């Protein structure tokens, strides 16, 4: 059951239907869009949704799907069921092109794997196009849709005769016109005209008797008449007779064609239905892709579990406005929480949320994919009943509240555990106390009947009822009470404040009136509303913290992974340095010995001649300079590869560079500065650079870590050196941290900022200070009435990492500035 009769217009489905019709290619598709209806058969719906989603994949990832010549031919075929009837030429032409389209669709799916489009390929089973029919049409109709001259021998003969007669008429007319021009009857620039399908000559009224023939027309001025010469009248009459013969022959051809294809009419009609189904599926798929829609998981039991649900019409409207974006909703109705009572300020999105539920559920049960996130689930409801808008009627003597009560009566009577009920502004329209009581009673009765539903309200008693009743859950539309603007985000589990006083204050209602209103509302109501606002504020704060923590954890995981790679690579650096130094030293030694021996040999051979001895010494000096250059280059390379290490670590590595260390023999010996160690918790390697307060300070990469001695294991220096090279190859610097350090400012100015925004800025300052390890902060809040100062200090007292806070020195600002010292 769908209630009321104007359900579709109330939730906006009539516009969805129009969007579908705009995307159809044929009258069959438009007809199917008009006939789309609510269904509760899960098997049928699952198949329709699967077919639609498969078609969405085709439109996104396939090319050249047939999308031309979708013509309806059912009327044509049904007409020729009766013997002796025949189709029009245009109808045959449309039939041919449509059958070719169906054939192209079948070929398209025949060439695709069945696992890719199982439902669509199943639709193709049993569809026939009969090439005989297409070939028969080709013999009659040409590619422009005209009957071929050779469609029959008699037709060819008739058309040839018509052509010959027309040529004869043309010749005779031109001859008569030329003679009339010579005789001065008509002007030399006069040409043959056509009137009533006949060739005529324009002649002045005064000369009309000079050309014998039939007058067919006269000019508007009456000065010219159009005469068909009597010499061509008989020829034109014979042409008309031939044209009648042509029409009779075409009728014979079409009748014979109808007789030939009459046995295939039922199969051809099935092909037409198939083409209409494809057209409609294509329209649904186009709309689905435009909305980024998917097929949700269908469940037989009534329920809703949607993530990132978006109102389709709002999405389309915002898509045309730059900078506007729909806020998605997370909505869940299950057996535990069947009824969602949404509260919050006016214009906060309550009604949009309600209509989103109604529209998306109706779309699903009409076989349309919906804009929700992957993994969302939709149950199947037997009924969808709504009470949205004003249904007052003068004719039926109904007030607004009476119409609402009639709807409530209908809901209570027909609602069941398979019904989805949507009520906007529940209980309004009458005296608030009485209306709220009736609404609460109706809500409890609907809950007893185990209906599912979404209700919007401002009534506090309904919020209390939802908080204390099993099966009903509160929901709130988020609102920024400092910026005084809605956030359009649904938060379940708690009621929302209407922010009536805040909105009234913002628009300028006098404070005295607001104070009087607060007293009249009563302390309990004001306190309850304040608690709701505090809860909303705290929730937003902790949500922001949670997001920051997730981002920091993700960044930390990346850093840990990078540093582990660096440490593992550092193990081979020392060994590589030593091996390279040994090899180069050996090569150097060989070259040096060879150079010295050559120098001594040359001096001996020349018997110590002065010039030769001088030349030999210059070559030896040149060789020495080259060696010094190579040594300097090698040292620079080592320094570059150790650039990420601290000074102490570099000294230790450089000390190891030219020294061979034996394997560790006594691992129980007390640890000392300079020992190579492994941290047993993280397996990271490093060098002890300091021992203080019974703790060792280990340098690993660019980090210095304080570690208890029992968490360290002595290793050989060769093992440490082996790890250094690979660590240096993967050295990375954290650009985010570097940028934070560069842009960090230890002082903020929050004068004139609202309370919650000021707290957010202080929180961010502390977070940044922790990140960059800066302990001393200054908060400039001004003196004023001391309200902002007190708020900030109350918050600082609750933060664990705040060691102390105090007023700034009187010369530097005094109580207008709070100095904070962090303890970490």
- For position 393, what pLDDT does the model report? 42
Interatomic CA distance for residues 8 and 698, integer angstroms: 72
Interatomic CA distance for residues 685 and 687, integer angstroms: 7
Which helix (H) or strand (E) segment is 112 a member of?
Answer: none
Q: What is the pLDDT of residues 120-178, one digit of tens each?
A: 999 999 898 889 999 999 999 999 999 999 999 999 999 999 999 989 988 988 888 88
Write 683-686 long-range contacts (CB < 8 A, 24+): 684/563, 684/564, 684/567, 685/567, 685/570, 685/571, 685/715, 685/719, 685/720, 685/723, 686/649, 686/720
- For position 319, what pLDDT does the model report? 87
- For position 658, what pLDDT does the model report? 45
- For position 508, what pLDDT does the model report? 62
Residues in the chain: 824
Q: What is the mean pLDDT of each run of 10 residues along the chain (824 residues)?
A: 91 95 95 94 95 95 91 92 92 94 94 91 90 93 93 94 91 87 83 83 83 84 86 88 94 94 93 95 96 94 94 91 88 94 80 93 96 95 88 48 84 94 84 80 93 90 86 84 67 70 60 63 53 56 72 77 65 63 66 64 57 62 62 55 50 48 60 84 79 81 74 81 56 56 83 85 85 84 84 86 87 87 80
- For position 511, what pLDDT does the model report? 65
The model carries a pTM of 0.62
- For position 570, what pLDDT does the model report? 61
Residues 6+ apart with CB under 8 A from 454: 331, 333, 339, 340, 342, 353, 354, 357, 421, 422, 423
Interatomic CA distance for residues 451 and 416, integer angstroms: 5
3-state helix, strand, coil split of the chain in percent (to 5) is 55, 15, 30
Residues 6+ apart with CB under 8 A from 457: 341, 342, 343, 425, 426, 427, 439, 463
């Amino acid at each position: 059951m769908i209630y009321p009769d104007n359900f579709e217009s109330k939730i906006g489905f009539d516009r969805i239907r129009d969007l579908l019709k705009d995307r159809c290619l044929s009258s069959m598709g438009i007809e199917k869009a008009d006939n789309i209806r609510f269904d509760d058969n899960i098997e049928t719906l699952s198949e329709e949704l699967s077919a639609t989603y498969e078609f969405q994949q085709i439109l996104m990832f396939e090319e050249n799907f047939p999308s031309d010549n979708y013509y309806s031919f059912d009327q044509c075929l049904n007409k020729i069921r009766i013997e002796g009837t025949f189709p029009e030429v245009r109808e045959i032409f449309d039939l041919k092109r449509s059958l070719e389209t169906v054939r192209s669709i079948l070929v398209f799916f025949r060439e695709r794997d069945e696992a890719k489009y199982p439902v669509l390929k199943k639709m193709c089973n049993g569809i026939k196009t009969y090439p005989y029919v297409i070939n028969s049409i080709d013999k009659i109709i040409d590619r422009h849709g005209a009957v071929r001259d050779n469609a029959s021998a008699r037709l060819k003969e008739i058309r040839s005769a018509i052509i010959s007669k027309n040529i004869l008429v043309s010749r005779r007319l031109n001859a008569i016109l030329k003679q009339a021009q010579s005789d001065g009857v008509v002007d030399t620039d006069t040409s043959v005209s056509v009137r009533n399908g006949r060739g005529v000559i324009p002649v002045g009224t005064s000369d009309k008797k000079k050309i014998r023939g039939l007058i067919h027309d006269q000019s508007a001025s009456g000065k010219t008449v159009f005469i068909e010469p009597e010499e061509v009248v008989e020829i034109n009459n014979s042409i008309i007779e031939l044209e009648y013969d042509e029409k009779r022959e075409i009728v014979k051809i079409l009748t014979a064609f109808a007789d030939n294809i009459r046995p295939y009419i039922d199969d051809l009609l099935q092909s037409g239905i198939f083409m209409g189904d494809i057209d409609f599926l294509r329209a649904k798929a186009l709309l689905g892709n435009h909305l980024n829609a998917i097929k949700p998981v269908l469940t037989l039991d009534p329920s809703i579990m949607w993530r990132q649900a978006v109102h389709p019409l709002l999405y389309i409207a915002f898509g045309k406005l730059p900078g506007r974006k729909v806020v998605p909703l997370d909505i869940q109705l299950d057996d535990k929480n069947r009824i969602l009572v949404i509260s919050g300020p006016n214009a906060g999105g309550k009604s949009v949320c309600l209509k989103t539920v109604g529209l998306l559920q109706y779309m699903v049960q009409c076989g349309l994919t919906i804009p929700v996130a992957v993994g969302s689930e939709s149950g199947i409801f037997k009924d969808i009943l709504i009470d949205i808008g004003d249904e007052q009627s003068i004719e039926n003597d109904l007030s607004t509240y009476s119409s609402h009560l009639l709807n409530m009566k209908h809901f209570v009577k027909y609602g069941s555990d398979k019904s989805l009920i949507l009520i906007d502004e529940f209980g309004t329209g009458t005296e608030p106390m009485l209306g709220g009581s009736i609404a609460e009673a109706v809500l409890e009765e609907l809950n007893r009947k185990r209906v599912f539903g979404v209700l919007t309200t401002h009534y506090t008693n309904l919020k209390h009822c939802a908080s204390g009743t099993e099966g009903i859950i509160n929901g709130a539309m988020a609102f920024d009470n400092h910026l005084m603007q809605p956030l359009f985000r649904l938060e379940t589990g708690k009621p929302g404040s209407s922010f009536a006083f805040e909105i009234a204050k913002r628009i300028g209602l006098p404070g005295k009136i607001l104070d009087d209103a607060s007293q009249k509302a009563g302390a309990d109501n004001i306190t309850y509303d304040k608690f709701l606002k505090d809860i909303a504020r705290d929730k937003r704060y902790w949500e922001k913290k949670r997001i920051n923590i997730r981002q920091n954890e993700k960044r930390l995981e990346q850093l840990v992974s990078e540093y582990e790679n660096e440490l593992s690579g550092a193990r081979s650096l020392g060994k590589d340095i030593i091996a390279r130094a040994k090899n180069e030293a050996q090569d150097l030694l060989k070259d040096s010995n060879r150079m010295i021996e050559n120098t001594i040999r040359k001096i001996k051979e020349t018997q110590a001649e002065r010039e030769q001895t001088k030349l030999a010494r210059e070559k030896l000096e040149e060789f020495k300079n080259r060696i010094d250059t190579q040594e300097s280059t090698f040292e620079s390379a080592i320094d570059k590869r150790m650039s990420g290490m601290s000074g102490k670590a570099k000294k230790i590595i450089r000390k190891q560079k030219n020294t061979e260390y034996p394997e560790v023999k006594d691992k129980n010996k007390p640890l000392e500065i300079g020992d190579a160690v492994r941290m047993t918790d993280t397996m990271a390697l490093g060098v002890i650079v300091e021992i203080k307060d019974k703790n060792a300070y280990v340098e690993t990469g660019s980090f210095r870590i304080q570690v208890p001695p029992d968490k360290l294991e002595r290793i050989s220096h060769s093992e440490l050196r082996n790890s250094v090279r690979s660590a240096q190859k993967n050295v990375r610097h954290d650009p985010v941290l570097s940028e934070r350090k560069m842009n960090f400012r230890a002082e903020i100015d929050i004068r004139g900022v609202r309370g919650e925004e000021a707290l957010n800025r202080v929180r961010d300052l502390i977070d940044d200070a922790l990140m960059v390890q800066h302990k001393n902060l200054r908060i400039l809040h001004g003196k004023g009435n001391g309200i902002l100062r007190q708020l900030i200090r109350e918050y600082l007292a609750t933060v664990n990492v705040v060691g102390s806070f105090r007023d700034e020195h009187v010369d530097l600002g005094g109580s207008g500035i709070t100095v904070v010292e962090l303890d970490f």
